[in-house]
Amino acid sequence: MPCDGGSIVRPKSFYHAQEKRARHRRLIDRAFRWLGMILTVTTLGVLGVLLLNLAMNGLGRIDWNFLTSFPSRRAGEAGILSAWVGTLLLMVVTASAAIPFGVAAGIYLEEYAPKNRMTDFVEINISNLAGVPSILYGLMALGLFVYQFRFGQSLLAGGLALACLVLPIVIVATRESLRTIPSSIREAAFALGATRWQAVWHHLLPYSTGGISTGVILAMSRAIGESAPLITIGALTFIAFLPPAPLIAHAPFVSGEWLFSPFTALPIQMFNWVSRPGEEFQSNAAAAGLILMVITLSMNAAAILLRKRAQRNITW
């Protein structure tokens, strides 16, 4: 029963119209709820179709031989040995450059940097850097690392290019996890006479490892899937050898020679196979793609779980 509006007397038709409008609104709301639901499921469905498609075309190709063979002109004999070894070594270079620099930059900006124009500039710079197309990192690496520093078209140049690319991800993750720590923790440490670095090292970093590792995992999963910057620095697609081993039989037992070796990587190998005609090469591409997807999706899933757990365990 609609309210009667005090002393104002309204014709019955007024309330009818109002109820009709309300019904209409409820109908529209319900329709949009369905639309949103359907679109969400469809969009996520693309991911499912993508995985299913790769699995159907590529799963049959994945066997021990595929993992332990070099690329070949004959699609049936080709494998991804040099590609996955290349990806693995690239990640070693990328991680050892991006993690220390990224975490240091995050700590500096969050805990040390004074609020001034300089800091503003660095912040705008980082947010812009996060939006620079990946291929431009490749061009920078080509001009700077390959030719200026004479690293050649090597694992070192490629790994550093990817490190520059993911640096903003590590910085932002570090900052965000430091920001969630209440200032009482810092003040307590200072009150007991800790220097700023001691507060960071003994208290803030241990509390933020969850958040930082989430960022690092996401950064690495991004780097694993990148191909454009590696193509521009001249990663080869047909590499039938492995880089020299990092461990050698004589003193000093470790060798950095592998850093300067030419290389290929999983996404590059897949790109090569996609662009070849012939169904056999395409199923090789699907197999390589499936492996790439499994790696990146499981890294992302691990990051999500880690973030959820880190959030749950914190009770300040």
Among positions 85, 105, 181, 204, the unique one binding other proteins when judged by CB under 8 A: 105
Q: Minimum CB separation from other proteins for residue 261, in Å?
A: 19
Nearer to other proteins, 53 or 255 (CB): 53
Residue span binding other proteins (CB under 8 A) among the ranges 42-50, 76-84, 182-190, 206-214: 42-50
Residue from 236, 259, 238, 257 nearest 248 by CA? 257
Q: Does 314 bind other proteins (CB under 8 A)?
A: no
By CB under 8 A, the residues from 214 to 243 that bind other proteins are 218, 221-222, 224-228, 231-232, 234
Among positions 80, 103, 156, 173, the unique one binding other proteins when judged by CB under 8 A: 103
Residue span binding other proteins (CB under 8 A) among the ranges 32-40, 70-78, 87-95, 202-210: 32-40
300-306's contacts with Cβ under 8 Å and 24+ in sequence apart are 300/217, 300/218, 300/221, 302/217, 303/214, 303/217, 303/218, 303/221, 306/210, 306/213, 306/214, 306/217
Pinpoint the alpha helices (H) of the chain.
Answer: 12-58, 64-68, 81-107, 117-129, 134-141, 155-179, 183-191, 196-199, 205-225, 228-232, 266-274, 279-313
Residue span binding other proteins (CB under 8 A) among the ranges 4-12, 119-127, 177-185, 253-261: 119-127
By CB under 8 A, the residues from 61 to 90 that bind other proteins are none
Nearer to other proteins, 132 or 254 (CB): 132
Q: Cα separation of 191 and 75, whole Å?
A: 68
Q: Cα separation of 258 and 243, whole Å?
A: 5
Q: What residues contact residue 200 under an 8 Å CB cut-off, 6+ apart?
A: 107, 111
Q: Cα separation of 115 and 102, whole Å?
A: 20
Among positions 15, 70, 147, 190, the unique one binding other proteins when judged by CB under 8 A: 147
Residue span binding other proteins (CB under 8 A) among the ranges 84-92, 103-111, 203-211, 245-253: 103-111
Nearer to other proteins, 100 or 182 (CB): 100
Nearer to other proteins, 206 or 244 (CB): 206
Binding mask 261-290 for other proteins (x = CB under 8 A): ------x--xx--xx------x--xx--x-
Token pair of 154 as six digits: 């090597």
Q: Give the rounded distance of the alpha carbon of 110 from its chain centre.
A: 22
Q: Does 107 bind other proteins (CB under 8 A)?
A: yes
Among positions 126, 185, 242, 302, the unique one binding other proteins when judged by CB under 8 A: 126
